[in-house]
Copies of this chain bind each other. A is one copy, B any other.
Amino acid sequence: MTATQKILELNAFDMDDTGCLDPATAALVARRKRTFGPTSMLFYERPLNLVRGEGVWLIDADGSRYLDAYNNVPSVGHCHPRVVEAVNRQMATLNTHSRYLTDIVYTYSERLLATYPAALSNIVYTCTGSEGVDLALRIARTATGGEGLIATANAYHGNTAAVTEVSPSSATTQARSPNVFLVAAPDTYRQNAAEAVARFNADVKAAIAAMQAHGINLAAFIADSILSSDGVYPAVPGYLKETADIVRAAGGLYIADEVQPGFGRTGEAMWGFLRHGLTPDLVVMGKPMGNGFPIGGVVVKPDLLEVFGSQNGYFNTFGGNPVAAAAGLAVLETIEAEYLQENARTTGAYLAERLAALSGRHEAIGDVRNAGLYVGVEIVKDQTSREPDEVATTAIVNGMRERNVLIGTAGKFGNVLKIRPPLCFNRDNADTLAAALSDALAAHSDRQRR
């Protein structure tokens, strides 16, 4: 895949196409281009110039309100007062690193670890999911002595040099590392679900065999349990338990990337791996952990951390600072106080139902898949051929933006609508989204027919 194709799929603004913009937006684009360079990407054919956020809403410089069904970082809602207040109080009191004792950091750690299976009892804080995956790979490689990694074929796990190796969905001309082996996500839309997941686990076995044939020892398998960037495949929970068994039988570790499914988004569980009835060896958290305050972390079995720690110093300057802990604690409290996991389950189901109901009227809707408030809608040329339609997908995402609803794209063909709103999204919001999607689909078909 070329970078240009990738940019098309990712729904990028053409930085030279400023003619369609109002003067204020065009001026901001020019300032961005001067400071960030021309290759830094903006979303949408007409980029958004944002000035405010609250709950599920983003507001632009003209006062227009956009229903945010894309952003999973402000997971408890944009500018949630409880998080804002907690961060402000701690910022004004103490903000330092983890070489000193600070009570709030252990209070948060205990509260967070209590949501995990007992075997996962240690945490190392980072500032981002990328740093977390980078560290998890280092721990896995040190603890196993292996170098080999297995990831899904269109995974995204982050942006460091090491993590980019297991992030094939990152557009890059860099040659793939010989230590990384890829397996295709189970395509539960084009295959029988049971066959798709059986094929997936057969592929994992084959990857291990190929690795061993090259003299490479397995360190770890890594996956996001709803395979977000592979195209959102939450269905058939349970098969990743078998994957973990296969990986462990070959001496490898199981790394769960919970940056996307974690913190209640799937509705059924606090963590995506719990839906599969498995206990990973390492878990990485990021994005929604501080509702936008930069915090990430690795939860790990103590024996693995001890092996790593006895052989390596690891210090993260901002990792586990008291302000990050205050933000994280406020997020956990809000998820609980506002029943956000339960809301993700019920509103997610309602939204998926409303979107599935559109498939009768709209031939382009091939499949609607969800776990809680992570919804993927597969856009196809027609429901018989099931042929991916990435051009329509980009048109629909932009059509939604023109109708003041923000969503994105995913999947190896870039033809899956990625819908993952803040967890305070309600039924009214779901109705608004469904109506806008129906309208955008109809407008797109009309244009096609003309």
CB within 8 Å of B: which residues of A? Answer: 3, 6, 10, 25, 28-29, 31-32, 34-43, 47-53, 58, 71, 73-74, 78-79, 81, 83-84, 87-88, 91-103, 106, 109-110, 113, 121-124, 127-131, 134-135, 137-138, 142, 159-162, 164, 170-174, 286-287, 292-295, 302, 305-306, 308-318, 320-321, 323-324
The answer to whether A3 and B305 touch across the interface, beta carbons within 8 angstroms, is no
Assembled-state Cα–Cα distance A18/B47 (Å): 57
Residues of B within 8 A of A42 (CB): 99-101
Q: Find out whether the CB atom of B99 lies under 8 angstroms from the CB atom of A43.
A: yes
Please name all residues of chain B whose beta carbon is closer than 8 Å to the beta carbon of A134 when the two chains form the complex. Answer: 134, 160-161
Whether A171 lies near B84 (C-beta < 8 A) is: no
Question: What B residues does A100 contact at CB under 8 A?
Answer: 42-43, 47-50, 58
Cβ-defined contact, A309 with B40, below 8 A: yes
- Name the CB-closest residue of B to A72: B317
Kindly state the separation between the CA atoms of A315 and B35 in the bound complex, as whole angstroms.
16
Across the interface, do B309 and A39 meet the contact criterion of CB distance under 8 Å?
yes
Given known pairs A122-B35, A128-B317, A161-B160, the reply for A92 and B84 (CB within 8 Å) is: yes
Answer whether A37 and B84 are a contact pair too, CB < 8 Å, given A100-B42, A159-B314.
no
Tell whether A287 pairs with B78 under 8 Å between CB atoms, given A28-B101, A88-B87, A310-B39.
no
Whether the Cβ atoms of B40 and A286 lie closer than 8 Å is: no
Given the complex, which residues of B lie within 8 Å of A317, measured CB to CB? 73, 128-129, 286-287
New contact pairs (16) apart from A36-B122, A127-B318, A159-B315, CB-CB < 8 Å: A3-B310, A3-B311, A25-B101, A32-B106, A35-B121, A36-B320, A37-B124, A40-B309, A49-B102, A50-B101, A53-B96, A79-B93, A127-B294, A129-B317, A160-B160, A173-B312
Please list 13 pairs of residues, one from A and one from B, whose beta carbons are closer than 8 Å in the complex, sorted by A's number: A3-B313, A28-B101, A37-B306, A53-B95, A58-B96, A58-B100, A73-B318, A83-B91, A84-B92, A130-B131, A171-B312, A172-B313, A173-B311
| Chain A interface helix/strand/loop/mixed | mixed
Contact A170 B128, CB 8 Å, known A34-B121, A52-B93: no
Whether B311 pairs with A172 at a CB distance below 8 angstroms is yes
Residues of chain B lying within 8 A (CB to CB) of residue A124: 36-37, 40
Q: A35-B110, A122-B37 are in contact. Are A170 and B98 (CB under 8 A)?
A: no
* A99 contacts across to B, CB distance below 8 A: 41-43
Contact with A103, one of B28, B101, B171, B318 (Cβ below 8 angstroms): B28
Q: Give the residue of B47, B78, B97, B123 whose beta carbon is less than 8 angstroms from that of A73.
A: B97
Contact A161/B174 with A52-B93, A87-B91, A292-B321 known, Cβ cut-off 8 Å: no
Q: Is the CB of A159 within 8 A of B131?
A: yes
Nearest Cβ in chain B — how far from A285, in angstroms? 13
Question: Given A124-B36, A160-B161, A78 and B49 touching (CB < 8 A)?
Answer: no
Which 10 residue pairs are nearest across A and B when measured between Cβ atoms?
A39-B309, A35-B109, A161-B162, A171-B313, A95-B292, A294-B318, A294-B294, A31-B106, A88-B88, A173-B311
How far does the Cβ of A34 sit from chain B's closest Cβ, in whole Å?
7
Which chain B residues border A316 with CB–CB below 8 Å?
128, 130, 159
A29 touches B101 (CB 8 A): yes
Question: In the assembled complex, which residues on chain B have CB atoms less than 8 Å from the CB atom of A6?
Answer: 313
Are B52's CB and A79's CB within 8 A? no
Question: Which chain B residues lie closer than 8 Å to A113 at the CB level?
Answer: 35
Quote the shortest CB–CB distance from A89 to chain B (angstroms). 9
Asked if B49 contacts A101 (CB within 8 A), the reply is yes
B contact residues around A83 at 8 Å (CB): 91
Distance from A109 Cβ to chain B, minimum over Cβ atoms (Å): 4
Docked Cα-Cα span, A130 to B100, in Å, equals 21
* CB-contact partner of A306 in B38, B123, B293, B315, under 8 A: B38
Q: Which of B164, B305, B309, B323 contacts A292 (CB 8 A)?
A: B323
**A31, B122: Cβ atoms under 8 Å?**
no
A242 to chain B, nearest CB (A): 29
Chain B residues, Cβ within 8 Å of A295: 294
CB-nearest residue of chain B to A41: B99
Question: A225–B101 Cα gap in the complex (Å)?
Answer: 32
Please name the residue on chain B nearest to A59 by beta carbon.
B94
B94 and A53 within 8 A (CB): yes
